[in-house]
Every structure is written in C-alpha cells, then in structure tokens.
Amino acid sequence: MEPLLRSVRGRRLLPLGPALLVLAAALVGRDLTGLPALILALAAAAGVFWAVSWVAEQAARSRLEECRLEEELLQSQKMAAIGQLSSGIAHEINTPLAVIGQEAELGLMELDLPDLKAQAGLDAARDNLRQIALQVERCREITHKLLSLSRKMEAIVQDTDVNALTEDMVLLVEKEARLKDIELRRNYAESLPPVATDPALLRQVILNLLNNANQAVERQGHVVISTDMPARDRVRISVEDSGPGISPENMAKLFTPFFTTKPPGQGTGLGLSMCMTIMQRLGGAIQAASPPGRGARFEILLPLRPNGRGD
Amino acid sequence: MENVRVLVVDDEKDFVDLFVNRFNKRNVQASGAGSGPDALKFLQEQPVDVVVLDLKMPGMDGIEVLKEIKKRHPLVEVIMLTGHGSVEAGLQGMGHGAYDFIMKPFNIEDLLVRIHKARERKVLNEGRQG
C-alpha cells in the first residue's frame, strides 16, 4: 500500500476511492438495512468529506504556490532595481572620491616639502589629511561592494567538495567563536558528491553566514553547520544559531541592501544582499527562517550541476 | 601539464626560501617576494599563475597588495595566507577576489591541491576570455 500511495500514479488514483465508495453506497444501499446500511452511509459520508477536503487543499496549495511565485518575482525585480540604482550611484561617486583621495595625498606631500616641513603647527593639518584619506578608503570599500552587487560576473565552475569548503570557513571563524564561548557544531552529510559550482563565490556566502551567526549569538551559545541533500540533484548547507532570532518585520527586509541590525560601523548591510546575488548567479537559492523562541536558520541550496549545462 | 608558476609573498625570508625550495621539487615553478611592492614588480616582469600572499606584512599589507594585483592582473589567482581567526580579513579578501585561503601552519600537500585548483580556474577563465 505504501509504495503505491507514495508514487505519483498512486496519488492520482487516490481520489477515485471516495467516488467508488459513494457509487457503491448508491448501488447496494437500497438492499441493505440496519447496521450494514449505517456503516455504508457513514463510510460514504467520510468519503465525500475526504474528497471535498482534498480538493480544497489542492486549491489552497496552488493559491499559496501562486502567491509564493509572485512574491519571489517581486523580490527579484526589487533586487535588480536596487542593484542597478546602487551601482549607478557607486559609479558616479567613485570619480569624486578618487579626486578627494588624490588631493589629500598631494596635500600631504606638499606639507612635506622642505620649506613647510620645518614650520611648526602643521601636524594637525597632516592629521586632517590622513583622516580624509582614511575615510575615502572606507567609502571605496562600500562602493566596491555596491558595484559587486550588480556586476554581471559569470561564475567559474569547478568540481567542489562542499564539505571541505564549508569546513575551511568554519575553521576560519572557530577561534573568534571560541573566544566568545560559542560552540560550532558540525553536522556534515557523509559522502556528498562533488558539486559543480564557483568555489570562490560559495566561500564568500558561507563565510558571511558564519560571521553573521557568530555576531547574532554574541556570547555563549552555539552555531550548527550542516550539509545534506534534500533532493537527488541538490546540496543544502545550513547555518543555525542560538541567537535571538529575526523578528517577522525584519525578515521581510533581510536581503535588502543596506538593511542591518548591527551597531553602526559593524556592518554595511550589504552582506546578505551580496549572498543573495551570488546564490542567484550560482543557480541556487538562499532562505532564512526564524521559528519563534529559537535562533535564526539560513539555508543555501545549490544545484549539483548549474542549469543548462547538463553533466 | 605545464608547470604551475607560483609567486610566494611573505615578509619572512626563511619561510619564502623554504617554500620555494620545496615547491621547485614538485613541478611547481616557484619564486619568492619579500613585500607587496616587490611582488607587484615581479608580476609586471614575469608571468605568474598563482600568488600565495601573506595577509600580515609591514608596509603595504596583504589586502592592499591583493587589490593591486587584481586591478593590474585580473586573471592571476591569489591564495591568502592567514593566521587563525582573521575573519574580517578573510571577508575582505574574498570580497576583493581572493580565490582561496589557507591558515598557517599548513600542510604542503594541502596547499599544493589548492594551488592546482586555483590554476585550473585561471585556465578556465582564460579560455572564456580568449
């Protein structure tokens, strides 16, 4: 019984059951009396109820699916628009930034010329210029990240051992985690097949998620890192933390560029939006969940082979 | 397969020498540089497939060198050498196009595998551009 019910054909035949029951009730019902009739009537009623609820569930499910697709489309359109806008701004700002940086550098050199070098009271001016150069560098980091959000860089696909790659990233954050009393628990699937993906891009995503998880826990807690295969052609890497979780209103904005809940100076709010861009480029997906009373859980899904390339 | 051309950049001369010696015995054409500016000069003069770059160097630090390398020679792949726990540097390095990184102390075989993967990527990338 089990295998038939699990198969697609079995599921398609399933609705026939109640219909047969009702038919049987209609045909033999007249000849039966007493208890058998009652049982048959009850069974028929149950069958009808089951059939109706099955139809209702199908309808609800397809509506839900429709909503989800619509939402995904909206989200990806929004991301594309934001990416375009921010790269436009980044591009425009880069030129004046370069000029400011060069002028500050020139100023510093001029202050070092022989006739000015001996002059007292110019140290403050030097500090000012150095500070300007430093802040320009900070702005450049931001514009660089913004530009990488919309860059149409194609992934370079190599056979990748996802467990080993994940473990590399875990090792990198482990010392910081230990200092903060955060335990990193590994839960890797045994014998994952190699995944054809861009390892350099994947490293960025995993490192970002691990870093976020560590920052969310803050102190004393744990982060669980798992790998598995939810389907025959997919590998999943998840990072689950014991932090405060994500509120529903923040959940909707999670992947929006510049959205951050970290204290000023600790994050630009570009990490997760970059992860999203990368995962789209890799033909995969990134999802977040935060069940009430528990920490946040991030999942990335990777196809074993990128779309359209076959094996 | 042709030898991989590797440039090791680290301010510790002993480390660079050891490295170059051991790698040259293994079909890797290794050279060394003691600082960022030296490395950039070398890259201008000779073709290199993979740079193994120390993050912590006096003067021009590893991230600065990485940015310059990627700007001038975008096809050259860079593997960063880091101490344990430099998460911020790791994030920055990956963001600026480092291919991989390895933590000190490391196993030479492990680094060799990474170098070959980095070179594979460079070849794939060149094939695409050509």
> Does residue A308 lie within any of the structural domains?
no
> Averaged over A113-120, what is the pLDDT?
80
Neighbours of B109 (CB within 10 A): 9
CATH of region B4-57+70-80+94-120: 3.40.50.2300
pLDDT at A6 exceeding the cut of 60: no
- Judgement on whether residues A145 and A103 belong to the same structural domain of the protein: yes
**What is the percent of chain A where pLDDT is above 70?**
90
pTM over 0.90: no
Same domain, A185 and A125: no
Structure tokens at A141: 């980091």
Residue with tokens 């490295």: B19
Pairing type for strands A297-303 and A234-241 reads antiparallel
Distances (CA, A) of B69 to A46, B75, B115: 73, 9, 17
Note whether A146 and A163 are same-domain residues: no
Better pLDDT: B129 or A125: A125
Is residue A162 within a helix (H) or strand (E), and if so which, with residue range?
helix A162-179
Of B57 and A310, the structure prediction assigns the larger pLDDT to B57
Please say whether the beta carbons of B37 and B72 come within 8 A. Answer: no
Whether A311 maps to a domain, the answer reads no
Sequence spans of domains, chain B: 4-57+70-80+94-120
The answer to whether B91 contacts A200, with C-beta atoms less than 8 Å apart, is no
**Is pLDDT above 50 for A311?**
no
Closest of A134, A73, A82, A146 to residue A108, by C-alpha: A134
Q: Are A243 and A218 in contact (CB under 8 A)?
A: yes
CATH assignment of the domain containing A193: 3.30.565.10
Which residue in chain B is spatially nearest to A206 when comparing CA positions? B91
Please identify, among A108, A131, A152, the residue that sits at the C-terminal boundary of a domain. A152
Within 13 A of A222's CA, how many CA atoms are on the CB side? 9
- For chain A, the average pLDDT equals 84
In tens, the pLDDT along A165-177 reads 999 999 989 988 9
Question: What letter does residue A300 receive in the DSSP assignment?
Answer: E
pLDDT band at A309 (very low <50, low <70, confident <90, very high): very low
Domain check: are A166 and A259 in the same one? yes
Number of helices (H) and strands (E), helices first, in chain B? 5, 5
Residue among A254, A267, A234, A258 nearest A298 (CA): A254
CB contact under 8 A, A207 and B94: yes
Q: Assess whether A129 and A164 both reside in one domain.
A: no
Find chain A residues with C-beta within 8 A of B84's C-beta. 171-172, 174-175
Judgement on whether residues A254 and A278 belong to the same structural domain of the protein = yes
Max mean pLDDT range (A52-56, A242-246, A300-304):
A300-304
Total number of domains constituting chain A: 2
B40: its two tokens? 């950039």
Q: Are residues A219 and A233 in the same domain?
A: yes
Report chain A's terminal Cα–Cα distance, integer Å: 36
The alpha helices in chain B, defined as continuous H runs, are 13-24, 36-45, 62-72, 87-95, 108-129
Is residue A310 one of the residues assigned to a domain?
no
Q: What are phi and psi of A70, to 5 degrees?
A: -60, -45
Q: For residue B88, give how far its alpha carbon lies from the nearest alpha carbon of chain A (Å).
A: 9
Residues 6+ away with beta carbon under 8 Å from A1: none
- Residues A118 and A232 placed together within one structural domain of the fold: no
Residue at token pair 């995993």: A206
Average pLDDT over residues B82-95: 82
Do B70 and B78 form a contact (C-beta atoms < 8 A)? Answer: yes
* Residues A164 and A127 placed together within one structural domain of the fold: no
- How many angstroms separate the CA of residue B94 from the nearest CA in chain A? 6
In this structure, the answer to whether residues A104 and A211 fall within a common structural domain is: no
Mutation target to probe the A interface, by most A beta carbons within 10 A, among B55, B68, B75, B91 is B91
**One domain, residues A114 and A202:** no
Domain boundary among A136, A152, A168: A152
Using one digit for the tens of pLDDT, what is the confidence trace for A272-281? 888 988 998 8
Residue A264 included in any domain: yes
Number of C-beta neighbours around residue A49 at 10 A: 11
Q: What would the pLDDT profile of A177-195 be if each residue is shown by its tens digit?
A: 999 999 999 999 998 999 9
pLDDT computed for residue A262 by the predictor: 78
In a domain, A309, yes or no: no
Host domain of residue A215: 158-303
Residue partners of A296: CB distance under 8 A and separation at least 6: A213, A216, A240, A241, A243, A245, A246, A288, A289, A290
- HSE-CB at A153 with a 13 A cutoff on CA atoms is 18
Last residue of a domain, one of A152, A181, A211: A152
How many CB atoms sit inside 10 A of residue A272's CB?
A: 23
